[in-house]
């Protein structure tokens, strides 16, 4: 035992530091101002052939922002990814390290963000905070930033902007979030909603990506009060049930203060599984929890896909008139 004492004394500062980082307040990047520059990268799949980067630049210019595209943002040499892992990671790191860039925005998702985590130093964002924006596969970056306790924006990506002359509420919501104008999102009533009021830090994103992070350093845990946002696209409903089984059996659902269910789009195999709506599966697992649950939240792979601040303290209230998510102005 006497030999352990010096070792424990050496480890004490490290253990204390780890505990302190686990309970530290989240860092909130500065909001943008007219004249700022955003960096656009492709951390995962390559862009569709019809992606018009000139129109993307024009949209941000209409907001008073300059655009800097990653070197490999529109790379199409790889069969699936927008460049090699090293090239995509280098683009991401360049935007993180560039002091002129105030927000790093994923142009699209797909798959591949997880492959960048061993290659990119996201911790640099604790020194020079800036917003990281995206959804779907970009959930993996959001999970990594949650571990670093840095707020980020779950929201629409430029490859999905509308340029047909119609209003684009999704893109407008991103502008509002970047400029710090998002304070509250109200949702229409839904028959599966569960009433109540609760507060916690907003976490989550794509359900399959969240589940894929289990057992990794980015695993989503809920030791502190947490409001979970989930969305999904193009998935077989039996797999949704399997994921919910896993979350329930692992006890992760029991620690949540509220659940916010976004778009579950283009679900597959519903007739074979015997359900008319994938949300009915989610409801069967959330109803016994006795916490507020919001269905039909406008986030995910449909319009509108509204931008929200992950890592931010939110208050969710649900009653017969609908639901409301309020974002805390400051910690």
Distance of alpha carbon 294 from alpha carbon 249, whole angstroms: 22
Q: Is 57 helix (H, G, I), strand (E, B) or coil?
A: helix
Of 107, 105, 111, the residue nearest 45 (C-alpha): 111
- Would residue 136 show up in a list of annotated catalytic residues for this protein? yes
- Would residue 72 show up in a list of annotated catalytic residues for this protein? no
Distance of alpha carbon 18 from alpha carbon 14, whole angstroms: 6
Contact 259, 283 (CB under 8 A): no
| Catalytic residue (choose from 136, 152, 170, 317) | 136
Radius of gyration of the chain (CA): 20
| Catalytic residue (choose from 231, 263, 283, 317) | 231
Q: What angle do CA 225, 227, 230 make, to 5 degrees?
A: 145
Task: Determine how many CB atoms are found less than 10 A away from the CB of residue 43.
Answer: 32
| Catalytic residue (choose from 154, 190, 263, 301) | 301
* Residues written for the chain: 331
Strands 37-41 and 256-265: unpaired
DSSP string, 240-294: HHHHHHHHHHTTTGGGEEEEEEEEEES-B-HHHHT-S-HHHHHHHHHGGGTS-EE
- Would residue 231 show up in a list of annotated catalytic residues for this protein? yes
Q: Which residues of 11-20 are buried (b: 16+ CB within 10 A; e: fewer)?
A: eeeeeeeeee
Query: With the C-alpha atoms ordered 161, 165, 167, 172, is the resulting torsion angle positive or negative?
Result: positive
Q: Is 229 helix (H, G, I), strand (E, B) or coil?
A: strand
Token digits for 197?
A: 């009021």
Beta strands in the chain, from DSSP E residues, in sequence order: 37-41, 66-69, 101-106, 131-134, 152-154, 184-187, 196-206, 226-233, 256-265, 293-294, 308-310, 313-319, 322-327
Catalytic residues, by residue number, are: 136, 231, 301
């Amino acid at each position: 035992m006497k030999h352990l004492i010096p070792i424990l004394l050496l480890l004490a500062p490290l253990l204390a530091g780890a505990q302190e980082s686990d309970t530290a307040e989240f860092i909130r990047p500065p909001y943008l101002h007219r004249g700022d520059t955003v960096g656009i990268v492709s951390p995962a799949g390559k862009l569709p052939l019809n992606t018009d980067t000139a129109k993307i630049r024009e949209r941000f210019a209409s907001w008073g922002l300059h655009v800097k595209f990653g070197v490999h943002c529109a790379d199409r040499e790889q069969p699936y990814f927008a460049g090699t892992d090293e090239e995509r990671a280098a683009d991401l790191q360049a935007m993180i390290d560039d002091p002129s860039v105030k927000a790093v925005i994923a142009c699209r998702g797909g798959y591949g963000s997880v492959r960048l985590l061993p290659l990119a130093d996201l911790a640099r964002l604790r020194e020079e905070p800036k917003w990281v924006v995206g959804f779907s596969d970009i959930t993996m970056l959001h999970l990594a930033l949650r571990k670093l306790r840095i707020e980020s924006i779950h929201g629409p990506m430029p490859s999905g902007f509308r340029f047909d002359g119609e209003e684009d509420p999704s893109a407008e919501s991103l502008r509002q979030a970047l400029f710090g104008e998002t304070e509250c999102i109200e949702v229409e009533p839904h028959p599966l909603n569960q009433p109540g009021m609760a507060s916690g830090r907003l976490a989550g994103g794509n359900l399959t990506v969240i589940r894929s992070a289990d057992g990794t350093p980015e695993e989503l845990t809920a030791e502190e009060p947490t409001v979970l946002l989930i969305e999904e696209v193009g998935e077989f409903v039996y797999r949704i049930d399997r994921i919910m089984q896993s979350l329930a059996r692992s006890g992760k659902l029991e620690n949540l203060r509220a659940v916010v269910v976004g778009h579950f789009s283009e679900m597959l195999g519903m007739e074979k599984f015997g359900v008319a709506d994938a949300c009915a599966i989610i409801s069967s697992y959330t109803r016994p929890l006795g916490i507020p649950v919001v269905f039909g939240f406008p986030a995910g792979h449909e319009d509108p896909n509204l931008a929200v601040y992950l890592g931010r303290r939110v208050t969710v209230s649900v009653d017969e008139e609908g639901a409301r998510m309020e974002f805390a102005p400051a910690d």
